[in-house]
Structure 1
């Protein structure tokens, strides 16, 4: 690891620790100069890598996830004094669990965030034009989204009703279309 990345990782960890409990640091208020890139990759399967090796400590991944921000030029780990670009192959988080609480669908991500699907946390499903494969996601915070894993998407499809020819789930007073009937999401 270079001196710059040592300093950068330490600054990221220190900034993330400022958030008490499960709160999040105020990364939206921090506007440091861009300091370059750090060799962190969030793979499409949700594995966080540093210099080609998986980051094995879940607590460290959680820590980094709390100072992640999406800017127009990409994903960055942000502290009050540094901003370092990282690579995200798909989306930074995975929605790995879901439960129903009354009329709400509550999603939990692989980094410990919990969100209730609704107006502020919409479920969006795009369908590949060639393969017909659905690609579901949910907004987590500040432009950061979680890919809804296949097993959870199947649970959504199973609980869906049909509205206007589309499989639809409801949560938080909103309706979310999963896809048209007969389009590979049945």
Structure 2
């Protein structure tokens, strides 16, 4: 399984409900880069620190949250990128797929961390994601998605879909053929 680079438990951002909410012109672009007031944040440790206090609320917006304040973060696609996938166990329903994000988070796909694939209706291009924590997802990079395709098997329900197993859950990734 991939090993993350962050130490310690994540802050309990789901328990924090500050009244003050603002917009500080921060965004996470589709390539995973973080920007503030038009300038790229190049300090990796700062980006990792911010990523630990990130939360996506029921309103669909993503925020940096502290016990005293929450500020909007504009997310172009997903706040994380899945840059690596590893398979543990015998191929099939009992295997576990572990994903490493660009910021060192590790998520194990399964019933509590599903893989989903959105398909563009015009181009038919797939956009695959895995849940990292809360409502925050990582978009699978192209090489990681190709690895999933290499692991894909026919859906157990005979639907003509291909997909992958992880922790006894089956995740469709696209049509066969």
The alignment's TM-score, normalised by the length of structure 1, stands at 0.84
- Name the structure with the higher helix share: 1
Show CA shifts across 1:153-174 (max 9, x none).
0110011112221111101111
Instruction: State the Cα distance separating 1:73 from its structure 2 match.
Output: 5.3
Which runs of at least 4 in structure 1 moved beyond 2 Å after TM superposition?
none
Aligned residue number for residue 114 of structure 2: 122
- Return 5+ residue gaps in structure 2 as ranges: 1-5, 90-94
Whole-angstrom distance in 1 between the partners of 2:161 and 2:60: 35
Question: 150, 173, 177: which one pairs with 2:168?
Answer: 173
Whole-angstrom distance in 2 between the partners of 1:62 and 1:26: 16
Question: 23, 27, 39: which one pairs with 2:9?
Answer: 23
Aligned residue number for residue 89 of structure 1: 76
Whole-angstrom distance in 2 between the partners of 1:61 and 1:74: 19
SS at match of 1:140: strand
- Return 5+ residue gaps in structure 1 as ranges: 1-19
Whole-angstrom distance in 1 between the partners of 2:80 and 2:107: 12
Aligned residue number for residue 87 of structure 2: 100
Question: 35, 46, 62: which one pairs with 1:60?
Answer: 46
Aligned length: 163
Tell whether the 8 Å contact from 2:152 to 2:164 is kept in structure 1 after alignment.
Answer: yes
Instruction: State the Cα distance separating 1:22 from its structure 2 match.
Output: 3.2
The alignment's TM-score, normalised by the length of structure 2, stands at 0.88
Tell whether the 8 Å contact from 2:20 to 2:68 is kept in structure 1 after alignment.
Answer: no
Greater RCO structure (CA 8 Å; 6+ sep)? 2
Alpha-carbon spacing, 1:33–1:85, altered in 2? closer, same or farther (3 Å): same
Question: 95, 102, 110: which one pairs with 2:102?
Answer: 110
Whole-angstrom distance in 1 between the partners of 2:109 and 2:168: 9
Aligned residue number for residue 76 of structure 1: 63
Alpha-carbon spacing, 1:169–1:73, altered in 2? closer, same or farther (3 Å): closer
SS at match of 2:127: strand
1:144 correspondence with 2:130: no
Segment of structure 1 superposing worse, 120-129 or 68-77: 68-77
